[in-house]
């Protein structure tokens, strides 16, 4: 391998962010090469990616598919492995310079922690890492050489706004939200909306889980929690504003009253390439932003009566401990149940809040406590859904 190129491992390569990351790598072959591709359970796209990018190793999380993956790549010289232990182990490989954590959900936590321990730079797209265990991960980061550059568009925007600024002068982080597909529906209509309706997101092309989180606005709650740990800013200085056009990606207000914003078309190629380039600006192939085409950019306060999941951000940060870990775990179960039409839209908030009340509170969780909390909350949320 050519050592002058940055060697990238992609955790979650077959998902939406993973595919777009490979796009950026293809556009910049002199700068990047792929060391490791890690997929979940979809064999065919993973094999196709491996053949196109010729990484050192390919890992599939679903161990039952190891045989098929090995057969598909036999003779290629690419190492094949499967399962969570192999994924965690690959985070330590010294032929990787940067890990893109593009996987969705709690499953991103342990590999990300391994990558931090081995001092790899991280392009962080897995927001759940900081939602579930933000305090612990922040402590680890403060003692390590790892640099974390956010990929989430809102956090990339804030990161870009903070270049050259003194973080002690931050008055407020203002995170923009599209408001999701149900923003304009009356509250009464939300009880009967379906997953298929929610999956028609107005602006962003994302995976199914995060699209439902966007519809409930829990995604925005998670982004407030993520921002709290990423930028070390207290929760009461972080707010969300609904901006349906998704052109302003987020803003920072400073003590002198200045507000900086980062704008662009809603497309993840920009924040991904900004992270891969470690804040150097690379060609992304994006359409240019023509403001005159939009004519008006609007902003409104979020409606927490209709979308109560948004309130779980400040609630979780104030209560602290393992609360956000419970919220995330209960949501992973409820979100999936909604996608399978097993529960209604408003049940998602109900399942999460009831799970919070039933899981033991831990004020200073260790990593093992987070792991146990995740399991306990998932079990309780599943039981609550069975009774619905």
State the residues that interact with Mg ion by CB under 5 A. 152-154
CA dihedral sign of residues 309, 314, 318, 323: positive
CB of 336 to Mg ion, least distance (A): 20
Q: Which is nearer to Mg ion, 154 or 347 (CB)?
A: 154
Q: Which is nearer to Mg ion, 218 or 337 (CB)?
A: 218
Q: CA-to-CA distance for 307 and 214, rounded, in angstroms?
A: 10
Cα three-residue angle 2-7-24, rounded to 5 degrees: 110
Nearer to Mg ion, 152 or 347 (CB): 152
Residue number, 128 or 152, with CB nearest to Mg ion: 152
Q: Which is nearer to Mg ion, 154 or 376 (CB)?
A: 154
The secondary structure element, H or E, covering residue 79 is: strand 79-82
For the residues of 28-51, what is the DSSP string, one character each? -TTTEEEEEEEESS-HHHHHHHHH
> What Å distances lie between residue 282 and 120, 125, 183, CA to CA?
21, 18, 34
Separation of alpha carbons 75 and 7, rounded Å: 23
Minimum gap (Å) between residue 127 Cβ and Mg ion: 7
CB of 222 to Mg ion, least distance (A): 9
User: Strand 170-177 to strand 79-82: parallel, antiparallel, or no bridges (unpaired)?
Assistant: unpaired
Minimum CB–partner distance for residue 347 and Mg ion (Å)? 24
Q: Which residue, 251 or 385, has its beta carbon nearer to Mg ion?
A: 251
The minimum distance between CB 339 and Mg ion, in angstroms, equals 19
Give me the least distance between CB of 277 and Mg ion, in Å please.
19
Rounded to whole angstroms, the Cα distance separating 321 from 135 reads: 9
The CB-nearest residue to Mg ion is 152
Is the CB of residue 24 less than 8 Å from the CB of residue 53? no
Q: Per-residue b/e over 122-136, b at no fewer than 16 CB within 10 Å?
A: bbbbbbbbbbbbbbb
């Amino acid at each position: 391998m050519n050592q002058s190129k940055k060697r990238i491992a992609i955790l979650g390569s077959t998902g939406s962010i993973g595919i777009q990351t490979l796009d950026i790598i293809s556009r910049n072959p002199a700068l990047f090469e792929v060391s490791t591709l890690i997929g979940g359970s979809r064999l065919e796209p993973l094999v196709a990616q491996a053949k196109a990018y010729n990484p050192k190793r390919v890992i599939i999380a679903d161990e039952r598919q190891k045989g098929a993956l090995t057969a598909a790549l036999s003779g290629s010289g690419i190492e094949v492995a499967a399962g969570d232990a192999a994924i965690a182990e690959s985070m330590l490989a010294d032929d990787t310079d940067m890990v893109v954590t593009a996987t969705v959900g709690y499953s991103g936590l342990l590999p990300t922690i391994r990558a931090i321990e081995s001092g790899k730079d991280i392009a962080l797209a897995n927001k759940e890492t900081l939602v579930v265990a933000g305090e612990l991960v922040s402590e680890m980061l403060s003692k390590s050489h790892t640099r974390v550059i956010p990929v989430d568009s809102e956090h990339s925007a804030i990161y870009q706004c903070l270049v050259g600024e003194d973080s002690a002068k931050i008055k407020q982080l203002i995170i923009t939200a599209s408001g999701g597909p149900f923003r304009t529906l009356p509250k009464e209509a939300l009880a009967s909306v379906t997953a298929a309706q929610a999956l028609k997101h107005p602006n962003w092309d994302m995976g199914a889980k995060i699209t439902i989180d966007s519809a409930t606005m829990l995604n925005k709650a998670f982004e407030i929690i993520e921002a709290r740990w990423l930028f070390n800013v207290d929760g009461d200085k972080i707010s969300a504003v609904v901006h349906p056009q998704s052109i302003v990606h987020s803003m920072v207000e400073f003590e002198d009253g200045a507000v900086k914003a980062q704008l662009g078309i809603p497309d993840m190629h920009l924040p991904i390439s900004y992270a891969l380039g470690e804040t150097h600006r690379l060609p992304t192939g994006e359409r240019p932003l023509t403001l005159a085409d939009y004519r008006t950019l609007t902003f409104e306060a979020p409606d927490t009566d209709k979308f109560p999941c948004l309130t779980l951000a400040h609630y979780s940060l104030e209560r602290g401990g393992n609360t956000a870990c419970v919220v995330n775990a209960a949501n992973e179960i409820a979100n999936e149940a909604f996608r399978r039409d097993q529960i209604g839209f408003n049940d998602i908030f109900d399942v999460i809040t009831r799970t919070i009340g039933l899981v033991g509170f831990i004020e200073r969780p260790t990593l093992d406590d987070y792991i146990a909390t995740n399991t306990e909350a998932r079990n309780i949320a599943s039981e609550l859904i069975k009774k619905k």
